[in-house]
């Protein structure tokens, strides 16, 4: 591997909702500017570094720290493994700052991270699937707007495109997009609808769903059936 990294620990991650235990590795990566990035990675069963694999980047909400990244790997890993995908839970918190979130964000760190990942993992087609929850959804849209050539689909849960990024959504017109919002997560309905309208007007292929009685966490997408449906949407570029 060309990437400079340090292995921090191997974590046994118990899949939520009663699933079986799986293992993921937690890494620290030295980015070109000297910043330490952190991520959790789960490789598919029978992983062969000589082959290429569809790869999903997952960005957590809240403080976007490594604990949130591990949590996302925890509930996405089982379905990702079934589909032969590399899964990477990415912490976007650096020294107490969320550089990919907010109106004054530094938008350089995640692209540097992706460049290093491409040197170290056999990412199919050199492009990523990306999903983000809440603040992570805004971060996912932000990095995709700045680097649309690096993404296959974009999927957000309980999120939307940040106001400062809305004028630029036309660059996403060729990328399938999924917007999931909890039916009772009322604070996010308006933002998601605004994003939907502007993305659709720009010619993007957008799937938008308000999920029943779900609240901010959208637990219905974490059940086995919900995960299968969720990944069908994430990977829908395959059948386009």
Please report, in tens digits, the pLDDT of each residue of the chain (240 residues total).
Answer: 333 333 333 333 332 222 333 457 888 877 666 667 788 999 999 999 999 999 999 999 887 888 889 999 999 999 999 999 999 998 876 655 565 655 555 667 778 788 888 998 999 999 999 999 998 999 899 989 989 999 999 999 999 999 989 999 999 999 999 999 999 999 999 999 999 999 999 999 999 999 999 999 999 999 999 999 999 999 999 865
Phi, psi of 87 (to 5 degrees): -120, 125
Pick the CATH number of 5-239 from 3.30.413.10, 1.10.150.110, 3.40.640.10, 3.40.50.1820: 3.40.50.1820
Q: Which residues neighbour 96 within 8 Å (Cβ) at sequence distance 6 or greater?
A: none
DSSP state of 166: G
Residue 153: in which H helix or E strand, if any?
strand 151-157
Distance from C-alpha of 238 to C-alpha of 240, rounded to nearest angstrom: 6
Residue 210: in which H helix or E strand, if any?
strand 206-211
What token pair was written down for 47?
């992983």
Q: From residue 223, give the alpha-carbon distance in Å to each of 5, 18, 19, 89, 132.
A: 34, 10, 10, 19, 18
pLDDT recorded at residue 34: 67
Q: Which residue has the tokens 């046994």?
A: 12
């Amino acid at each position: 591997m060309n990437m400079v990294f340090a292995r921090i620990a191997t974590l046994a991650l118990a899949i939520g909702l009663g699933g079986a235990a799986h293992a993921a590795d937690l890494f620290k990566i030295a980015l070109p500017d000297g910043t330490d990035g952190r991520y959790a990675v789960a490789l598919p069963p029978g992983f062969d570094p000589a082959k290429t694999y569809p790869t999903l980047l997952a960005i957590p909400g809240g403080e976007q720290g490594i604990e949130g990244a591990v949590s996302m790997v925890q509930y996405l890993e089982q379905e990702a493994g079934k589909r032969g995908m590399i899964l990477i839970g990415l912490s976007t918190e650096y020294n107490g700052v969320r550089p990919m979130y907010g109106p004054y964000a530094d938008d350089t760190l995640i692209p540097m991270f992706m460049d290093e990942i491409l040197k170290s993992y056999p990412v199919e087609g050199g492009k990523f699937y990306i999903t983000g929850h809440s603040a992570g959804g805004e971060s996912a849209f932000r990095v995709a707007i700045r680097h649309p050539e690096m993404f296959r689909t974009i999927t957000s849960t309980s999120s939307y495109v940040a106001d400062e990024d809305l004028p630029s959504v036309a660059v996403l017109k060729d990328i399938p997009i999924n917007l999931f919002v909890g039916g009772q997560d009322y604070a996010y309905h308006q933002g998601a609808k605004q994003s939907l309208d502007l993305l659709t007007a720009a010619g993007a292929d957008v799937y938008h769903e308000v999920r029943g009685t779900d609240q901010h966490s959208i637990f219905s997408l974490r059940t086995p059936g919900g995960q299968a449906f969720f990944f069908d949407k994430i990977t829908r570029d395959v059948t386009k």
